[in-house]
Amino acid sequence: MRLLVIEDDRDAADYLVKAFREVGHVADAANDGEDGLAMALDGEYEVLIVDRMLPKRDGLSLIGTLRAKGIETPALILSALGQVDDRVKGLRAGGDDYLPKPYSFSELLARVEVLARRHGGRNEETVLNVGDLELDRLSHQVRRGEVEITLQPREFRLLEYLMKHAGQVVTRTMLLESVWDYHFDPQTNVIDVHISRLRSKIDKGFSQPLLHTVRGAGYMIRDGAR
């Protein structure tokens, strides 16, 4: 995956470029808003990582200009401003995701991969499959092999989100944001308990577990046999 990091703090930019390369992505860096805009217009990037406060042209205006020119490359905004209002402003300006600083790399990576995949478009499928697990988004039915699984509405949405991003790491914060629509940090890790409940419903009694915990990052649903 080709990524563009637009960040004026050179240390942070170098760190991100290096870290992305380590996990197998190609990443370039721009150190101000104008360079970033020129590179985003030229290059064929899959995801842009844009710092909100940049010299020469701020991050929101950069994204706005790109969108006005019809370039829809998904953009993730990094910002030291972490209030709810700031997030809303960032998303309204054309950003696709918003991550307050300081962030963990695993969180950033998970979000970037989800953004890149979003363009692949698993969104429109009405039936999601992972291994022998099947989720029907229209009839709200879930079955594993021949066994029908009954889920609470929230568990259904949790599983739906995980399956939509099958094979990708999904962090706790991403789950809290997309399944519960909360952007705060619950002091205790409530998500873990929800996951273990879900796990007991879809994996218990089956030889092949599908729902995996990725240490230090989050969760992933994937077909272990493949």
Partner 1 sequence: MTALGKLFRTTTFKLTLVYLTVFALFAAFLLGYFALNTRRLITEQITETVDAEITGLSEQYRLGGIRRLVIVVDARARRPGSSLYLVTTFAGEALAGNVTALQPGILDNPGWTETAYRRLDEAESPEHPDHHALARVYQLPGGFRLLVGRDLDERERLYHIILDAGRYSIAIVLVLGLAGGLFVTRRVLRRVDAMTETTRTIMAGDLGERLPVAGTGDELDRLAENLNVMLERIEALMHGLKEVSDNIAHDLKTPLTRLRNRTEQALRSAKNEGEYRAALESTIEESDSLIATFNALLMIASAESGQARDNMTEFDAAEIANDIGELYEPLAEEKGIALKVEAESAAPVNGNRELVSQALANLVDNAIKYAEPINGATAEIVVRALSQGDHILLTVSDSGPGIPEADRGHVVERFVRLEQSRSKPGSGLGLSLASAVARLHGGELTLEDNHPGLKSIIALPRGGPVQSAG
**Residues in the site for partner 1, rule: CB under 8 A?**
82-85, 88, 100, 102, 104, 154, 180, 182-188, 190, 193-194, 196-197, 216
Name which of 123 and 188 has its Cβ closer to partner 1: 188
Name which of 82 and 167 has its Cβ closer to partner 1: 82
Least distance (Å) between residue 74 CB and partner 1: 24
Name which of 125 and 192 has its Cβ closer to partner 1: 192
Least distance (Å) between residue 19 CB and partner 1: 14
Least distance (Å) between residue 133 CB and partner 1: 21
Least distance (Å) between residue 88 CB and partner 1: 7
Closest by Cα among 94, 202, 93, 87 to 144: 202
Name which of 150 and 187 has its Cβ closer to partner 1: 187
CA–CA distance, 18 with 85 (Å, rounded to integer): 32
Least distance (Å) between residue 210 CB and partner 1: 19
Name which of 33 and 100 has its Cβ closer to partner 1: 100
